[in-house]
Structure 1
């Protein structure tokens, strides 16, 4: 599944100072509109030893690194398990997309167990996450006129609408265009244009964009109000027990197959 990247990502996992529960590809590759010069966004969870959390030194709960490998810019961000699960419980759509990404670089049995618990953190309030990010991205589009923030705007609005209706986290824009009837008809053309140029200008009527963005915000509001999703996470206790068990077991609990390509 990762052959399209043309990069061997297994060494990236091996280089990490602490064991990884998982590493997946996020960003434009996950969203379905990478360009030829897109960087590779890797996201995952590392497991700090228990001693790192109980001593005097501040634990390295988040690690971030950017570098170039085989001529491609790489961006790696991992969170310690406890921090990642806390983010899951804060209506954070990003971490759910990372956890459930089908573009898997490295997985473990603990990763699969955590993914199975993910539906228990999804609530109707995740609409706020997608609504807020759409507002940020459309402001950037108005300033620059670039395709990238415009596609991000539509992607997050459609992801939010689809989530409110189905309870499924679907970040892949071409799939959303097929599954969400309200998606603007010109989106496939914009995706094709983005594939040719990472920072290209959107060839679309700004007035039409504004009308479509406003319309989709309205659809998201309506779907949130109608959604059968709960108002609060239901998996808190299960996630609490999971974090304790995996932490106490250490790397020995990260069983199952390793890197995938």
Structure 2
């Protein structure tokens, strides 16, 4: 994937060192429209002086702007905040961490990807079920049936099932469908790629899509119940040690 220059520039302009920055959103999921914005996600490292004092640095930095006709949405979290999020059933940060669309990286990024495997539990299924439920309600309540929320529904359900079965984080719907082989997915993706962010379905077989939503949601519940994944994360000590090392390095430099 060719990275547009405005994205490279905005990454270089961040005020703190970045452990990593990746692309998330539709570009990661495999169905960006021509007018899709770029969702950039990453982790910054606050220096010790901005952590221990009375005045602390920003745990979260958000930038939303248009550069050279590109909509860019950047969110980075401080390492401690992200590590705490990893220890919860948060699928978002897992997908950002393991995104193959890497803007900037570090040896500690690779180290974190190894450690984070011990953050993945059976209970991450709740994240995917909850997100799919929210997207289905969004799909149903609008005056027109848009493709994007429907694709989000199927993407998160397949990602959740795959995670429960394998322990592997896969966010791309095209890759997921190579495993699940749902015949309607390629056509939905093709409609989204050919249109805009607000493209509507070319067919209105809503009963079919609802049955598929319910079937896949039930399948995710079954995958949770039979999953070999652990009940709780076991990465606390490794995350603590990595955090101390990163903070100490910022102080020494």
TM-score range (shorter-chain normalised) is: over 0.9
In the alignment, is residue 135 of structure 1 matched against residue 133 of structure 2?
Answer: yes
The alignment's TM-score, normalised by the length of structure 1, stands at 0.92
Which of 43, 46, 64 is 2:44 aligned to?
A: 46
- Which 5+ residue runs of structure 2 have no aligned equivalent? none
Structure 2 match to 1:173: 173
- Counterparts of 1:39-188 in structure 2, within 5 Å, are 39-144=37-142, 145-181=145-181, 184-188=182-186
The alignment's TM-score, normalised by the length of structure 2, stands at 0.95
- Counterparts of 1:30-45 in structure 2, within 5 Å, are 30-45=28-43
Shift of 1:103: 0.2
Given that 2:36 and 2:197 are in contact with CA atoms closer than 8 Å, whether structure 1 keeps it comes out as yes
Distance in 2 of aligned mates of 1:32 and 1:252: 41
Distance in 2 of aligned mates of 1:101 and 1:251: 29
**Secondary structure of 2:122 counterpart:** coil
Structure 1 match to 2:15: 17
Distance in 2 of aligned mates of 1:23 and 1:125: 26
Query: Number of matched residues?
Result: 249
Shift of 1:227: 0.5
Larger mean CA deviation between 196-205 and 131-140 belongs to 196-205
Shift of 1:59: 3.3
Given that 1:127 and 1:164 are in contact with CA atoms closer than 8 Å, whether structure 2 keeps it comes out as yes
Given that 1:7 and 1:70 are in contact with CA atoms closer than 8 Å, whether structure 2 keeps it comes out as no
In the alignment, is residue 26 of structure 1 matched against residue 21 of structure 2?
Answer: no
Larger mean CA deviation between 236-245 and 52-61 belongs to 52-61
**Secondary structure of 1:34 counterpart:** coil
1:225-260 deviations in Å (ceiling 9; x for gaps):
11100000011111111111111111879xxxxxxx
Distance in 2 of aligned mates of 1:141 and 1:252: 51
- Which 5+ residue runs of structure 1 have no aligned equivalent? 254-261
Structure 2 match to 1:193: 191
Distance 1:71 1:39, change over 3 A: same
Distance in 2 of aligned mates of 1:56 and 1:211: 55
Given that 2:192 and 2:199 are in contact with CA atoms closer than 8 Å, whether structure 1 keeps it comes out as yes
Given that 1:158 and 1:176 are in contact with CA atoms closer than 8 Å, whether structure 2 keeps it comes out as yes
Distance in 2 of aligned mates of 1:174 and 1:192: 11
Given that 1:162 and 1:180 are in contact with CA atoms closer than 8 Å, whether structure 2 keeps it comes out as no
In the alignment, is residue 226 of structure 1 matched against residue 226 of structure 2?
Answer: yes
Larger mean CA deviation between 187-196 and 130-139 belongs to 187-196
**Secondary structure of 1:233 counterpart:** coil
**Secondary structure of 2:129 counterpart:** helix
1:156-214 deviations in Å (ceiling 9; x for gaps):
00000000011100000011111125xx3211111111112211112341101110000
